[in-house]
Chains A and B, each alone.
Chain A
Amino acid sequence: GAGVSQTPSNKVTEKGKYVELRCDPISGHTALYWYRQSLGQGPEFLIYFQGTGAADDSGLPNDRFFAVRPEGSVSTLKIQRTERGDSAVYLCASSLGLAMDTQYFGPGTRLTVL
């Protein structure tokens, strides 16, 4: 079946611009996670959705970052007033929702802020 998909695969933007990154999880997966992976680092947690609600957004670095999942399926990560330090690969994962469940990752969106 289809895995987790993310669009766009690459996004280049200028400092100060607004960007949206989309994640389409595996059908039936109630849990959705966003992570950020900087060069040479492991992925870092940003936000977790269970259904439509953000159950844990403690990893969002500041209020320029926001994510939604209005219908409990597709999620959008939104970044306002982008900064060069936001450049990274943004990963999305989905799972059945328990801690022991495997998270299936998408290929990521590589964001470059010039």
Chain B
Amino acid sequence: AQSVTQLGSHVSVSEGALVLLRCNYSSSVPPYLFWYVQYPNQGLQLLLKYTTGATLVKGINGFEAEFKKSETSFHLTKPSAHMSDAAEYFCAVSTSYGKLTFGQGTILTVHP
């Protein structure tokens, strides 16, 4: 069975500061890992995903994440936060046929 833990339900940063959203997973098989973003009153949008190969994955809007098998982590980072990054972020792990197990989400607030 898979599970995902997102540390910190709320993260607040200043505009221009580093964004770090934490995700740890548990999986009995090699995982596929995803980060989705949800803006208010909108659907989930894929930011990036790890399948195989390079463990540092780059996504849209300047976000990236690094798969660390030894730490069972897939933390999301962005060097410089922008006001438009304010949203809720979900980490997810996939099973062999694509069923996603999501974390509880982290709400990112960006202060001017």
Contacts and interface: CB of A to CB of B under 8 A. Distances in A.
Interface of A: 4, 31, 33, 35, 40-45, 48, 50, 55-56, 91, 93, 95, 97-108
Given A91-B43, A108-B43, A42 B95 contact: no
Interface residues of B, number: 26
Given A41-B104, A42-B104, A43-B90, A56 B97 contact: yes
Contacts of B4: 42
Contacts, number: 70
Contacts of A45: 99-101
A99 B44 contact: no
B100 A106 contact: no
A105 B98 contact: no
A106 B43 CA distance: 6
Contact of B49 (A48, A97, A102, A105): A102
7 contacts: A4-B43, A42-B4, A42-B103, A43-B44, A95-B98, A107-B42, A108-B43
